[in-house]
Amino acid sequence: MPRLTKLEEILFPVQEHPVFVSFSDGDVSRQLAVPEKKAIVNRTSHRVLGVVSRGYRLVSNKEALDMAYQCCSTVFPNTKPGEWGVKAIDAPNTAGHCYIDLAHNSTVLDFFFVPANQRPDLFGPFIRVTNSYNGLRALGFDIGFYRKVCKNGMIMPDSIIRFKFNHQRSEIGKTIQFEVAKQRLAKLTTIFTDSLTGLRNCAVQLPQFESLVCGALSLTPPNEPDERQESDWEDLRDHLAEMSGRYVSELGENAYAAFNTITEFASHPPDNRCLHRDRHSLQRLAGSWLTSFRESSRRPGFSITSHLDELAKERAKTSARAPDQNKSERQRIWELETIS
C-alpha cells in the first residue's frame, strides 16, 4: 500500500463530528446519537479517520508539528525552532497516524564516529513526533540518530524526552511542558559513538549478514508459504544480499557494515508481504539491537556465532506464535483504520 511522504499530504484540516447510528424500525428509518463517541474527519476528503471517545483530545498534525519544534529547542537548548526542519514524513495512505522527523539545518549538532584522518562518518540527531487521529497511537516524541551520508537511522530505546500521552483531555492540556534528561542525552551520545566503535572492531563474515539482519529486525519467513509468499521471501533475501554486499565493499566484513545494512533496511523498508512492521517499528528494533549488541559484546566469551544463536532463538519464538498474534502490524492497523 502506498505511503504518504510529503508534508502537505498530512497537514489537511480535521474536525470532530457527532456519531449517529442509522437503522430501520419497520417502514421508518431512524437515527440515534452515540453520545459517548465522536468521529474525526478529514475536512478535505471527508474521510472518517477514526471513531474515538468523547474525552479524546484532538491534536492536529500541524499542532503536533508545532509541539515538535518546541521539543527540539527543549532537548537542544542552544538551538532555535527556526533552525530545525522537516527531514522525513511517513504515514499510511489512510492518514490515520503519521511520523514527522525534524533535523537541525546546520552542522552544529553533528559528531564524528572516528577521527577525521580515518575517513569519518558523520552522524546527527533527529526528533520524531508520532501523532494519530484514531486513538491507536499516543502522542509521543522520540530521539534518534542517522548517518548523514545515506540518511539511514534508528530510534534509540531509552526515553530522553519525558512526554508521551494518550489523546485524552485529562492528559494533554492547552499547553505542554517537556522534561528532558539532559545528562542522559549526553551519556546516550557517548554510548552511541562507543557502540559504533565496537561494531567496527567486531568481525562478521558476509554469509552471516542475513542471519544478523533478520535477527535484529525480527524478519521471519512465512510459516506456511504459498507460491507468492515464497517468491516475496526470496525477493527480500535478494534485497538483503545486495545491501550487505554493498556495505561490505565500502566498510569491510564487520558488524558496522551489518549495522548499516540494518539501518538502511529499517529506514527504507521494501514493499513486501513478508515484512511485518512499518518504518518506525523497524527503526526502534535497530536502536534496541544496537544497545543489546553493545551489552552482549562486553561479556566474557562473546562471539558473533553465539550472538547469532541468541537471535535465532528469538526468531524461532516469533515464528512459532499463533497466526493471529503473528499478524503483521501493517495488517492490524489497516484493519482497525478501515473499520471506520
If asked whether residues 207 and 330 sit together in one domain, one would say yes
Q: What number of other Cβ atoms are within 10 A of residue 305's Cβ?
A: 8
> Which residue shows C-alpha cell 518504518?
279
Do residues 251 and 199 lie in contact, with contact meaning Cβ atoms separated by under 8 Å?
no
* Helix 182-200 × helix 279-297 angle, to 10°: 70
Q: Which one of 180, 212, 241 terminates a domain?
A: 180
Q: Which one of 145, 180, 215 terminates a domain?
A: 180
E strand spans, the chain: 3-4, 14-25, 28-42, 48-53, 84-92, 97-104, 111-112, 122-132, 139-147, 152-155, 164-165
If asked whether residues 205 and 269 sit together in one domain, one would say yes
If asked whether residues 132 and 231 sit together in one domain, one would say no
Question: For the whole model, what pTM was predicted?
Answer: 0.84
Quick check: is 292 in a domain? yes
If asked whether residues 159 and 258 sit together in one domain, one would say no
Reported as a single tens digit per residue, the pLDDT across 283-332 is 999 999 999 999 999 999 999 999 999 898 887 776 665 344 444 444 44
d(CA 90, CA 2): 10
- Write the DSSP symbol of residue 228: H
Quick check: is 189 in a domain? no
Quick check: is 4 in a domain? no
Reported as a single tens digit per residue, the pLDDT across 89-105 is 999 999 999 999 999 98
Distances (CA, A) of 40 to 92, 165, 188: 16, 18, 38
| Contacts for 82 with CB less than 8 Å, ≥ 6 apart | none
For residue 305, the model assigns a pLDDT of 94
Quick check: is 192 in a domain? no
Question: Residue 99: which domain range?
Answer: 61-180
If asked whether residues 124 and 218 sit together in one domain, one would say no
Quick check: is 34 in a domain? no
Quick check: is 300 in a domain? yes
Quick check: is 211 in a domain? yes
For residue 232, the model assigns a pLDDT of 94
For residue 319, the model assigns a pLDDT of 64
- Phi first, then psi: give them for residue 178, nearest 5 degrees: -85, 140
Q: Which one of 147, 180, 213 terminates a domain?
A: 180
If asked whether residues 210 and 286 sit together in one domain, one would say yes
Count of domains in the chain?
2
Residues of the chain with pLDDT under 70: 1, 114-120, 158-176, 318-340
For residue 80, the model assigns a pLDDT of 87
For residue 75, the model assigns a pLDDT of 87
If asked whether residues 164 and 262 sit together in one domain, one would say no
If asked whether residues 205 and 335 sit together in one domain, one would say yes
What are the beta bridge partners of residue 99?
A: 90, 130
Do residues 234 and 248 lie in contact, with contact meaning Cβ atoms separated by under 8 Å?
no
Quick check: is 44 in a domain? no
- Write the DSSP symbol of residue 321: S
If asked whether residues 295 and 329 sit together in one domain, one would say yes
For residue 120, the model assigns a pLDDT of 63
For residue 334, the model assigns a pLDDT of 40
